[in-house]
Amino acid sequence: MPIPLIDLRRQHRSIRKRLQSAIKRVLKSGQFVLGEDVARFEREWAAYCGVAHAVGTGSGAAALHLALLVLDIGPGDEVITVPFTFIATVSEITRTGARPVFVDIEPRSYTLDVEKLAEKIEREYVFHERIGYLVNRTTWRRLKAIVPVHLYGQMADMRPILELARRYHLRVVEDAAQAHGAEYRMEPEARPFKAGSLGDLGCFSFYPTKNLGACGEAGAIVTQNAAWAERLRRLVNNGRADAHQHLEEGFNYRLDTLQAAILRAKLRYLDRWNERRRELAALYREKLADVEEIVLPEEMPYGRHVYHRYVIRVPDRDRVRRQLGEAGIETAVTYPVPLHLQPAYRHLGYRPGDFPVAEACARTVLCLPLYPELREKDVARIARALRAALRSGR
Ligand SMILES: Cc1ncc(COP(=O)(O)O)c(C=O)c1O
């Protein structure tokens, strides 16, 4: 029997009754746009993340776009993020008219390298007293924000990021698309913060394969700021303040009502599912800890990993991947080409070698199957097949 990378059918089978009754409720109500399920999901998601407000959106990309817009980011501005992420993190910066600026990731967490971030800011920007922003010494654009990406289910090291942001008057938009329920501790014994709740705004995708996934496209923005939340709620709905008043132009970026109902039905399982992902990740570690050639995912001491993806690094990755495929094991590579080397970003002027960690990860990362319904015997089989593939290459 082949082992797929992810199997949503199994998840949906296990909660079929709840999903069906959520869908029936919406069909019966006849309300397919906004309404009670969207409003309730927003409240429930805000409560889950430990923030005051959540605004549903049509996708994670829409969430990022609007989060940057409410911070007045646009032409003449720069936003720092990483080159090792899904393209939407960067394309939504560009969409505002701002210029994305990359800082490399660090190799243990695969997230923004905070030392390189500080170095870049100090080397390339100067604080402009009159306008109150850091200004790029070469491009003369204003640096407005940092977008850390919590990749594969683990948060970036937020404390130093927030300290730099405070020092230099920068906003922080968390890309938490892959980190529903991941946590961060400011101090070893302190209470943990949920992904999305530490920056000025946090953005989520509920793409079907995410830890909390819709049965279609969906996303959300979370924030503690009531004024931003109010404006976001207008912006997702064509700028509508009420039935006939548009305070500004907005977008059709609404969270779909059926998706909101489905997300509400699934949210109650998220912690259980995340816990199961962690157990399976621990099992992978147990089975693979002695394999010297590979690098296993590491949980950073500051946080709680929710293993959106189980990503290892392997030499000769493409051959290993092929052999796993021949053994009936589906894998994925996220991401084989870092964004600074994508044709879409040629105009930014980056070259191979500019972000060596992202480039090395792009050559070696391999995502193994991981989802709450994966069986322990599947993990054992994957580990055996991986060992065999590595042996045959020696
Ligand atoms: C890190 C990251 N950012 C942004 C997005 C965009 O989310 P969506 O696909 O819902 O637009 C994704 C989704 O794949 C993602 O993984």
The closest-lying atom of ligand 1 relative to the alpha carbon of residue 206 is 10
CATH of the domain at 78: 3.40.640.10
Ligand 1 centre and the CA of 242: distance in Å?
30
Based on the domain organization, do 238 and 109 belong to the same domain?
A: yes
Residues 110 and 136 occupy one common structural domain: yes
- Between the CA of 23 and the centroid of ligand 1 the distance, in Å, is 25
Q: What is the mean pLDDT of residues 146-163?
A: 98
Yes or no: say if 146 and 81 are a contact pair by the CB < 8 Å rule. Answer: yes
Token pair recorded at residue 169: 């008057």
**pLDDT per position as a tens digit, 290-318:** 999 999 999 999 999 999 999 999 999 99
Residue 128 CA to ligand 1 centre (angstroms) = 34
Model confidence at 79: pLDDT above 90: yes
Q: What is the pLDDT of residue 251?
A: 98
**Is residue 166 domain-resident?**
yes
Give dist(CA 105, CA 117) in Å, integer. 9
What confidence score (pLDDT) does residue 394 get?
Answer: 72
User: Mean pLDDT for the chain?
Assistant: 97
Q: What is the pLDDT, as a whole number, of residue 98?
A: 98
Q: What are 231-263's pLDDT values in tens digits?
A: 999 999 999 998 899 999 999 999 999 999 999
* Spatial distance between the Cα atoms of 261 and 83, rounded to a whole number of angstroms: 34
Q: What phi and psi values does residue 326 have, to the nearest 5 degrees?
A: -65, -30
Give Cα separations from 183 to 89, 190, 286, 394 (angstroms).
20, 11, 23, 39
Q: What is the pLDDT of residue 189?
A: 87
d(CA 341, CA 348): 10
Q: Where are the beta strands (DSSP E) in the chain?
A: 53-57, 77-81, 99-102, 125-128, 133-136, 142-146, 171-175, 183-184, 193-194, 201-205, 219-223, 240-242, 245-246, 303-304, 310-313, 365-368
Which of 155, 207, 212, 253 to mutate for ligand 1's pocket (most ligand atoms within 8 Å of CB)? 207
Percent of all residues in the chain with a pLDDT value above 70, rounded to a whole number: 100
Last residue of a domain, one of 245, 267, 289: 267
User: Residue whose CA is closest, atom 12 of ligand 1?
Assistant: 177
For the stretch 37-67, pLDDT in tens is 999 999 999 999 999 999 999 999 999 999 9
DSSP 49-70: HT-SEEEEESSHHHHHHHHHHH
Question: How many structural domains is the chain composed of?
Answer: 2
Pocket test for ligand 1, best of 205, 236, 311, 367 (most atoms within 8 A of CB): 205
Q: How far is the CA of 137 from the centre of ligand 1 (A)?
A: 32
The predicted-structure confidence for 165-221, as pLDDT tens digits, reads as follows 999 999 999 999 999 999 999 998 899 999 999 999 999 999 999 999 999 999 999
Cα gap 389→263, rounded to integer Å: 39
Residue 364 clears pLDDT 90, i.e. is over it:
yes
- Whole-angstrom CA distances from 127 to 68, 93, 134, 322 are 21, 22, 4, 51
Domain boundary among 243, 267, 291: 267
In this structure, is residue 2 part of a structural domain?
no
Say yes or no: 244 and 359 in one domain: no
Give the whole-angstrom CA distance, residue 190 versus residue 167: 23
Token representation of residue 207: 């793409």
Per-residue pLDDT band for 393 (boundaries 50, 70, 90) equals confident
Asked if 309 and 331 touch (Cβ cutoff 8 Å), the reply is: no
Q: Is 177 in the pocket of ligand 1 (CB under 6 A)?
A: yes
Predicted TM-score (pTM) of the model is 0.98
Residue 383's domain spans which residues? 270-392
Q: Is the CB of 85 under 6 A from ligand 1?
A: yes
CA distance linking residue 304 with residue 299, whole number of Å: 7
Q: Which atom of ligand 1 is nearest to the CA of 150?
A: 1
- For the CA of 219, the closest atom of ligand 1 is 10
Q: Write phi, then psi, for 373 (nearest 5 degrees).
A: -90, -5
197 vs 132 pLDDT, higher one: 197
